A and B are shown apart, each in its own frame.
Chain A
Amino acid sequence: MNGVHDMGGMDGLGPLAPEADEPVFHAEWERRAFAMAMTSPTRGGRRTMERIPGPEYLRMSYYERWLTGLCMALIEQNVVTAEELASGRADPSQPKATNAVGPEQIRRTLTTSGSYMREAVAPPAFEAGDRVRARNLNPLGHTRLPRYVRGREGRIERHHGTQIYPDVAGEAHPLYTVRFSARELWGPDASERDSVSLDLWEPYLERA
């Protein structure tokens, strides 16, 4: 979706303010909100956070987005009722869950690498060096094709094999790193040397 989360290339979103000796979390609520969002069997995650209304998304801090995404997912998937969320008390007529993630399970998840790779169903359409154009696609659902590369030409830098395609459940497609020159993306005032590389799936690309 063409949401405000797709912010590459925008101006006016505030000053860049690095903080010296930054702690991992700045407040206890951040620890608890992130830990709940990460251990809850019902996950919000980026797909849900992207659907936070734009003005609110821009105003929220990072962990507030996680908290909001978690609450949205709990309601949308009928795991928690709106009344329960408002009152903070469990409705005794609702069944109690038995699938809470335990400490060992979360430690395993955090320290064991899964894989997003899948069996190739067809040979890749492109190889390193090929000129490609990012297609002008504007899906209403989740996509990893940022607006700032749509319609732009780049060069395949690397084929990463076939990986899970986040736009369509159950699909996997060849994934490529595609390099775009800064001038192709941002015009003649950009540096002639610089470039931006993105990881893009085959359905996002056409031969240039």
Chain B
Amino acid sequence: MAHDHDPHDHPSHGRAGHEHGQEPPADIALRVKALESLLVEKGLVDPAAMDALVDHFEHKVGPRNGARVVARAWVDPAFRGRLMNDASAAIAELGYAGAQGEHMVALENTPKVHNLVVCTLCSCYPWPVLGLPPVWYKSNAYRSRAVIDPRGVLKAFGTELPEDVEIRVWDSTAEIRYLVIPERPAGAEGLDENALAALVTRDGMIGAARL
């Protein structure tokens, strides 16, 4: 496959980061440039607003926000209680709010229950706490398979769950956005909140992996 590349080879050209069979047409960069100059000329978009939006998603939001929420829930039982009761309000305590995070629900993993989040119809994702979704989350493969074969999907991420663990898949069909609270890893008892947050992965907060 032309787009196969070594996983350690950082993508450096425009065709990287697309799922199987979804490479964009060669002229897409030119088309986007032409559209931007047209919309700017017509007064429909402001390049400064576009820059602000890109800066927001590249630098202001991302999985580090969600990791702080998870670490706080691990160390602060009162916060955990508020998070499970009204996740939007608890998450706002840490300063995270906004588009695609209006109605948050936290899902707690336990030794017997594993939660996995998907959006089969679209690619809905909790932007304020996780930023923009990775390519795999938006892929046709994930959107189609997560609901019918969650155990197979988890295996693709290297996670094999015992048969006696119940998997709850959450298909984000409305405006509720879900954040998985992974189990606190064993052996992390002595760590402070910042060190704990560093253990929390994006895939863990989607439920595609265990920590």
Contacts and interface: CB of A to CB of B under 8 A. Distances in A.
Nearest to A201: B174
B97 A112 contact: yes
Interface residues of A, number: 100
A6 B14 CA distance: 28
Given A90-B41, A199-B173, A148 B147 contact: yes
Contact of A29 (B21, B29, B151): B29
Nearest to A105: B49
Q: Which of A7, A18, A20 has the most CB of B within 10 A?
A: A18
A107 to B, nearest CB: 6
B101 interface: yes
B140 A96 contact: no
B7 A67 contact: no
A145 to B, nearest CB: 8
A10 B140 CA distance: 9
Contacts of A60: 22, 24
A32 B40 CA distance: 12
B33 to A, nearest CB: 7
Interface in B90-130: 92, 97-99, 101-103, 118, 120-123, 127-128
Contact of B46 (A20, A39, A198): A39
B102 A113 contact: yes
A32 B103 contact: no
A79 B174 contact: no
Interface residues of B, number: 98
A200 B173 contact: yes
Interface string B146-168: 11101101001100000111111
A84 interface: yes
B17 A26 contact: yes
Nearest to B62: A24
Contacts of B39: 36, 40, 80
Most buried by B among A96, A101, A116, A186: A101
A74 B142 CA distance: 30
A111 B171 contact: no
Nearest to A64: B24
Interface of B: 7-8, 10-11, 13-14, 16-25, 28-29, 31-39, 41-46, 48-54, 56-58, 60-62, 88, 92, 97-99, 101-103, 118, 120-123, 127-128, 131-132, 134-136, 138-148, 150-151, 153, 156-157, 163-176, 203, 208
